[in-house]
Amino acid sequence: MKWLFFSLCLLSLGSLFVGVSQLSVISLIELDSDAWDLLITSRLPRLLAILLAGAGLSIAGLVMQQISQNKFAAPSTSGTIECAMLGYMLSLLLFGNGDALWLIFLTAIIGTLVFVKLIQSIQFKNAIFVPLIGIIFGNIIQSLVTFIAYKFDALQNLSNWSLANFSNILQGDFELLYIAIPCAIITYLYANQISAVGIGKSFATNLGLKYGQIVTIGVILVSMMAATVVMIVGELPFLGLIVPNIIAYYQGDNLKKNLPNTALLGACVVLVCDLISRIIIFPYELPVSMFISIIGGLVFIVLLLKREANDR
Amino acid sequence: MIKVENINKQYAGKLVASNINVAFEKGKVTSIIGPNGAGKSTLLSIMSRLLDKDSGSVYVDGTELEKWATKTLAKRLAVLKQTNNLNMRFTVKELISFGRFPHSQGKLTDTDRQVIQHAIEYLDLQVIQDKYLDNLSGGQKQLAFIAMVMAQDTDYVLLDEPLNNLDIKHSLQIMKNIRRLAHDMNKAVVIVIHDINFASCYSDNIIAMKNGEVAIAGSVQEVIRAPVLESIYDTPFKVVTLDNQNVCVYY
């Protein structure tokens, strides 16, 4: 925890001073207005967006894994992201712009609820079926979105959703991501309930909880956090999947205990990947999702193999 | 006292509970026995609001089940089913702490901590209290769940097949603790159980079910008799008395 927090602070400082335009501590101390301007309109928003997106998406994955009782569930493997895209497309069609937030949240929430109900009604022998079903479900929704976009000549509007990129985030673009903060607080308040639901329906009912109600609250939290991230930043594959699993590997599945560390590690991972993407072909940048995919994919395979070994 | 009156329940056209009338008293261990598909677990689930009934009533301390707020009922009645997801990794102590949830909604008070500590000591779980559940044997896991139910501190404790997959030593340990819960702490403990000899030696009352109906309900002496059991299990039985206990031989 302390160690994670310390790394995060260091990385954050580093992130502020990496970029094409020179920004030095000295010019900031000398109150150079250009330097401060750069810091406040570009570097700081970028840093905040990274931290909020990384933490928010990781918490979303953590909650998703508990309410669906599956270690491989995450917003990217449950159709949440694709349903948010569908909401965006519907908003574009019905209102002429993609600003109808409520519609995006609503479709994401409904889609995720449908997925959760679906996997609850089918008993799977192998846990890996759940994310597979989720990915298939997501792909069907995505095909639908692409079809609508093609029909109405809106394919270009979709392209900025797929690849995550922090390079174009300026002051005024990212503030919606702050939604992750109230969502994280609510998650913390409901942590015990969500954990109990994660153990099972009869377990939760025995403790006097209304199972369906807690699942719905969880789904709403997950959908809102995931949908805002994908809208503003783009897809960050594997993040919601691997970060909670790494934390759970070391300290179990107590949601309340894991929440802060999951948020910190999620922010750290995205920050590291973003730094790499900015430095590797400096002064140009690569999309951050490339590095998250590479690192996330590798960690995911390791997790899968570890699980296989445990099952035997 | 839990009173069950005229309970009926159908699954896909088949009656799994038919006109059931039984009662469960505090301070007694009651075992529900019967062949597979007799409706034992269905009865337990209906009594504990995990399953909706088609008709009939369940009264807990004189108040109908539906009239209880589920939160309040969780302080009176605890139920443990076999379907708990063990993919989730919790320590024994974390699991037991869940039992205090109905009382303190997740913020443990000093009283809660005392109750949890007492449950751990009562069931001798000190050594494993910080171990993760998925690293424990079946018996230890079952004891941890029973400790959780103990921490919940309810008058009624309903357990669905608590001896499932346990060896003889752990089965004995669980049954002895179940009896202690009922007799020392004046709780009504209801268990669904397959092993008739464990039921015979450790319960006060037995309810025998067949085809969704209560075939007979009464004391151990009334139910553990060869003619009664033969009609329930369709198998020849011999009941012998050993050290004042009725023991069934059916091999």
Q: For the whole model, what pTM was predicted?
A: 0.89
A18 φ/ψ angles, rounded to the nearest 5 degrees = -105, 130
**Do residues B87 and A248 lie in contact, with contact meaning Cβ atoms separated by under 8 Å?**
no
Distance between CA B12 and CA B90 in Å, rounded?
37
Write out chain B residues lying below 8 Å of A129, CB-based: none
Write out chain B residues lying below 8 Å of A70, CB-based: 87
Q: What is the pLDDT of residue B106?
A: 79
Interface with A, mutate which of B41, B60, B71, B85 (most A CBs under 10 A): B85
Query: Is B88 close to A253, i.e. CB distance below 8 A?
Result: yes
Percent of chain A at pLDDT > 90 equals 42
Token pair for A5: 């927090």
Distance between CA B191 and CA B162 in Å, rounded?
7
Among the partner residues A196, A203, A205, nearest to B49 by beta-carbon distance: A205
**Residue type at A263 in one-letter notation:** A
Residue A160 has pLDDT above 70, yes or no: no
More confident residue, A31 or A209: A209
Interface with B, mutate which of A189, A207, A303 (most B CBs under 10 A): A207
**Residue type at B222 in one-letter notation:** E
Q: What is the pLDDT of residue B85?
A: 55
pLDDT in tens, A180-194: 999 999 999 999 999
Residue A128 has pLDDT above 80, yes or no: no
Write out chain B residues lying below 8 Å of A254, CB-based: 90-91, 94
What residue in B sits closest to A126 (Cα-Cα)?
B87
Given CB atoms, is A199 within the 8 Å cutoff of chain B? yes
**How many angstroms separate the CA of residue A207 from the nearest CA in chain B?**
5
pLDDT in tens, B57-66: 999 999 999 9
Write out chain B residues lying below 8 Å of A211, CB-based: none
Query: Is A199 close to B85, i.e. CB distance below 8 A?
Result: yes
What residue in A sits closest to B152 (Cα-Cα)?
A207
Given CB atoms, is A196 within the 8 Å cutoff of chain B? yes
User: Which contiguous run of DSSP H or E holds residue A89?
Assistant: helix A80-95
Query: Is B79 close to A199, i.e. CB distance below 8 A?
Result: no
Given CB atoms, is B176 within the 8 Å cutoff of chain A? no
Query: Is B88 close to A127, i.e. CB distance below 8 A?
Result: no
Write out chain A residues lying below 8 Å of B45, CB-based: 202
Query: Is B90 close to A207, i.e. CB distance below 8 A?
Result: no
Write out chain B residues lying below 8 Å of A209, CB-based: 70, 101
Interface with B, mutate which of A125, A202, A254 (most B CBs under 10 A): A202
Percent of chain A at pLDDT > 70 equals 97
Residues near B13 by Cβ (< 8 Å), separated by ≥ 6? Answer: none
Given CB atoms, is B68 within the 8 Å cutoff of chain A? no
Crossing angle for the helix pair A255-279 and A191-199, nearest 10 degrees? 100
Residues near A32 by Cβ (< 8 Å), separated by ≥ 6? Answer: none
Query: Is B98 close to A193, i.e. CB distance below 8 A?
Result: no
The sign of the CA dihedral A278, A280, A283, A284 is negative
Among the partner residues B73, B84, B90, nearest to A208 by beta-carbon distance: B73
Write out chain A residues lying below 8 Å of B81, CB-based: 200, 202-203
More confident residue, B155 or A158: B155
Q: What is the mean pLDDT of residues B80-103?
A: 84
Coil, helix or strand for B21?
strand
Query: Is B83 close to A200, i.e. CB distance below 8 A?
Result: yes
Q: What is the pLDDT of residue A40?
A: 86
Q: What is the mean pLDDT of residues B36-48?
A: 92
E strands within A49-113?
none
More confident residue, A247 or B83: A247
Residues near B244 by Cβ (< 8 Å), separated by ≥ 6? Answer: none
Distance between CA A224 and CA A57 in Å, rounded?
10
Distance between CA A112 and CA A105 in Å, rounded?
11
pLDDT in tens, B128-181: 999 998 888 888 888 899 999 999 999 999 999 998 878 898 899 899 999 999
Confidence of residue B37 (pLDDT cuts 50, 70, 90): confident
Predicted-complex ipTM score: 0.89
What residue in A sits closest to B70 (Cα-Cα)?
A208
Q: What is the pLDDT of residue A247?
A: 92
Write out chain A residues lying below 8 Å of B48, CB-based: 206
- Exposure string (b/e) for A111-121, b if CB count within 10 Å is 16 or more? bbbebbebbee
What residue in A sits closest to B91 (Cα-Cα)?
A252
Residues near B210 by Cβ (< 8 Å), separated by ≥ 6? Answer: B34, B35, B38, B231, B232
